[in-house]
């Protein structure tokens, strides 16, 4: 059947437009396709990394010791030589989750050690990141209760220490606490709870219910955030969530903190905050580290670009177990205009500001 002259003239143009549309759609789809998570060869948990000049420095618990690694990239840390900087020669017990910070030109590594209910925070320090560390000193934190995952930071011209601990002497739930510090090794005043695992999405896996791994960062408006891990670390419901201090808020007053309405980085859609997607390549991402210059939250990233992140997780398709956790490299960026809502508590029921997006 012959094609009418009008259609014959128009058909090439229509086909050209369709081809252009399909090409553009394909290009857009390709550009938007997620990249695979950058799994490092290091089978370990609880990374803590800072950047000093052009060098990345990481600490890791290795049995009853603490090791330091240095590399030119975050990905290179996993295969960098591990220098032992401290060994538990005094029989303190299990050594967990060391955190490296820099304060006044000196490096401090905070870690938890102990057995069962005896876990407390300890610190060693040196003028060099990979040698010359002092013997371990126990931090005299207020109330002297079970304490892990502590780290030091400076905000509002004051030093602060934030950690995960118990309200009493039994493992009912793990809360996040904060205290002022008069020096990198000395707390002053009381301890103040800033978060408890009371939301449904952070009570998926319990016995006990958990808030842990707190990491401070400052947003483009200068407001303080504490990003932490929720749910049991032994499950693939482990995830990252956010606490945002209200503008002009008091870090010691729990109701000046607003919590994200769900996980911001996790592997289960039903626990994610609306507008945040679950991971595609890993299960149970948690206990992360913001890779900041000198570990200083005053060097927190501005809005716009993505910045380095490290976290531990289990590859999808692998049984979720502590021994299957690896260090991963990733990125994060600030996400503006995000409202966190709450009910039945003192103060305004909502707060709008910066949140975070995490990328595998």
| Residue numbers annotated as active site | 46, 212
3-class SS of residue 140:
coil
Length of the chain: 360
Residue 330 bridge partners (DSSP): 309
Q: How far apart are CA 16 and CA 12, in angstroms?
A: 6
3-class SS of residue 12:
helix
Token look-up 């991971």 returns 279
Q: Identify the helix (H) or strand (E) that includes residue 359.
A: strand 350-359
Q: How far apart are CA 72 and CA 74, in angstroms?
A: 7
Q: Are 54 and 72 in contact (CB under 8 A)?
A: yes
- Cα–Cα nearest to 222, from 141, 126, 148, 156: 156
Q: Cα dist. 159→102, 162, 307 in Å? A: 12, 10, 24
Q: How far apart are CA 178 and CA 107, in angstroms?
A: 21
**Secondary structure, 3-state, 16-47:** HHHHHHHHHHHHHHHHHCCCCCEECCCCCCCC
Q: Cα dist. 62→68, 75, 87 in Å? A: 10, 19, 9
Q: Cα dist. 132→40, 68, 108, 124, 183 in Å? A: 28, 12, 11, 10, 20
């Amino acid at each position: 059947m012959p094609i009418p002259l009008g259609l014959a003239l128009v058909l090439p143009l229509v086909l050209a437009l369709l081809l252009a549309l399909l090409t553009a759609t394909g290009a857009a789809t390709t550009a938007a396709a997620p990249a695979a998570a950058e799994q490092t060869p290091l089978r370990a948990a609880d990374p803590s990394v800072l950047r000093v000049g052009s060098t990345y420095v990481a600490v890791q618990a290795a049995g009853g010791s603490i090791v330091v690694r240095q590399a030119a990239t975050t990905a290179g840390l996993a295969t960098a030589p591990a220098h032992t900087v401290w060994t538990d020669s005094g029989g303190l017990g299990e050594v967990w989750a060391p955190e490296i910070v820099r304060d006044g030109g000196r490096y401090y590594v905070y870690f938890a050690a102990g057995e069962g209910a005896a876990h407390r925070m300890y610190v060693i320090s040196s003028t060099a990141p990979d040698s010359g560390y002092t013997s371990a000193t126990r931090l005299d934190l207020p109330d002297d209760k079970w304490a892990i995952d502590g780290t030091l930071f400076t905000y509002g011209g004051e030093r602060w220490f934030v950690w995960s601990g118990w309200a009493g002497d039994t493992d009912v739930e793990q809360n996040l606490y904060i205290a002022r510090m008069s020096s990198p090794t000395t707390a002053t005043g009381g301890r103040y709870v800033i978060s408890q695992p009371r939301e449904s999405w952070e009570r998926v896996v319990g016995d006990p219910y958990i808030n842990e791994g707190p990491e401070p960062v400052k947003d483009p408006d200068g407001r303080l955030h504490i990003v932490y891990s929720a749910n049991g670390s032994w499950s693939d419901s482990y995830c990252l969530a956010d606490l945002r201090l209200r503008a002009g808020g008091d870090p010691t007053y729990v109701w000046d903190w607003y919590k994200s309405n769900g996980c911001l980085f996790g592997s289960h859609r039903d626990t994610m905050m609306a507008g945040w997607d679950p991971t595609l390549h890993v299960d149970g991402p948690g206990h992360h580290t913001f890779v900041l210059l000198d570990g200083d939250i005053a060097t927190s990233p501005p809005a716009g670009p993505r910045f380095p992140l490290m976290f531990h997780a289990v590859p999808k398709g692998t049984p979720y177990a502590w021994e299957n956790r690896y260090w991963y490299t990733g990125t994060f960026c600030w996400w503006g205009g995000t409202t966190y809502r709450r009910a039945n508590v003192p103060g305004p029921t909502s707060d709008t500001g910066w949140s975070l997006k995490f990328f595998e």
